[in-house]
A and B are shown apart, each in its own frame.
Chain A
Amino acid sequence: METVETAEIWHIPNQEIQASNIVRLTKEMANDLIDKVWWENIPGEKRDDEWDDHWVWTELIAERESDGAYEFLAIVSKENYVEGAMIYKSVIDSKLEGGSFCGYIDYIASAPRNRAWVVTNPVYGGVGTVLTYKAVKRSYESALGGKVFLQSLPRDRTMEFYRKIGFERTDLAQPLTDLISFELPEAKAKEWLEKQGDL
């Protein structure tokens, strides 16, 4: 596995911070460590409520790998388990700031075993935060000001999480039953980078 960066995540059972690796996600890894593993012990009724239980990460990567602007990343814990994954596109048009560009989180997901609303005893916390932050860093390093666009599930807690970071809705006319478009403006991205000690 090719490590891109290290990151701290919260091990919930031990109540301690642990180091993890952000790595490049290959199709082989996606097949062996996500598609075959993530949902195997999740009961059907729990899966039904999750939008991503039908995502096949191997195929998502295969469909995009010919486009050189995409990056496929995963966060791997010291147990060698893929705790979350993200497909990031380096450049799309910004919706909030016309005429400029931003990064784009095409797909992002924490492993089901880390979702407190899916399992009784989630294993890691902060995986989604790390992946989102990685996208912001990538956008900033690419001279896009840290701006990132994404489409959130219309779940209250997820949207609240993005709002807390500073993401803003880009289309208030979107119905709250569908994916909701959010973009993190440059000022908020920089605030987050400063708070993390990276800027």
Chain B
Amino acid sequence: MIKFNSELVDEVVGGGGQLSEKYLSENSVELNLKNITDEVDRNIAILSALHPNLLVRFRDNDLSLLSKDDKKVLLRGMYQILGIKPLNDKR
């Protein structure tokens, strides 16, 4: 749940500009999240693309064989290795 913040209330319109080539360097990461709708799966896929060695550390787990809870554990493990504090789970 995203909580309402009365200090920051505004409406925005933005975008529509062609993104300059300088933002799309050779280092850009190829991502394919098209058929991944689950939030945890998406985050694992993005982390795996950004940090390819991570899944090796997790013995190339086949995500399709993991339960949702196991995937959450896997994601937390990835965050831990990367030194990222996980967001509070308020759902």
Contact A93 B27 (CB under 8 A): yes
Which range holds the interface residue count of chain B? 35 or more
Contact B46 A151 (CB under 8 A): no
Give the residues in chain A near B85, CB-CB below 8 Å.
Answer: 199
B87 within 8 A of A: yes
B59 within 8 A of A: no
Interface of A is mostly: mixed
Give the residues in chain B near A198, CB-CB below 8 Å.
Answer: 87-88, 90
Distance to closest chain B CB from A194 (angstroms): 10
Give the residues in chain A near B39, CB-CB below 8 Å.
Answer: 4, 141
Give the residues in chain B near A29, CB-CB below 8 Å.
Answer: none
Give the residues in chain B near A140, CB-CB below 8 Å.
Answer: 84, 87
Give Cα A21 to B27, complex, Å.
35
Q: List 20 A-B contacts (CB under 8 A).
A: A7-B1, A7-B2, A50-B13, A68-B33, A90-B33, A92-B28, A107-B14, A108-B12, A109-B15, A114-B11, A126-B10, A134-B2, A140-B87, A141-B87, A142-B43, A143-B50, A151-B14, A152-B12, A162-B12, A199-B85
